[in-house]
Amino acid sequence: MSNNDLLSRISIEPNICFGKPGIRGHRIWVYLILDYLAGGAKIEEVLEAYLSIEREDVLACIAYGAEMAQDVFVELPLNNKKEASA
């Protein structure tokens, strides 16, 4: 499935989910799925938590996050600690 096909699974509707990006046809925000994954959840665990979505919906959330990261930069705190040498 191409990136464009995946991204077509994401919608932004002003009157649904406060206009935040969500999975088309569901009231599930993209960032909720990304938070699950960032917390270490596997795709299968996300699908168990949200029974109404498909694997491609989770991949669409990842694709949307990747697209957003191309244009938006978030300042991260500097890590002044020296890394342990191997």
Task: Tell me the pTM.
Answer: 0.80
Q: Higher pLDDT residue, 39 or 18?
A: 39
Torsion of CA 73, 20, 24, 43, to 10 degrees: 50
pLDDT tens column, 31-42 = 999 999 999 999
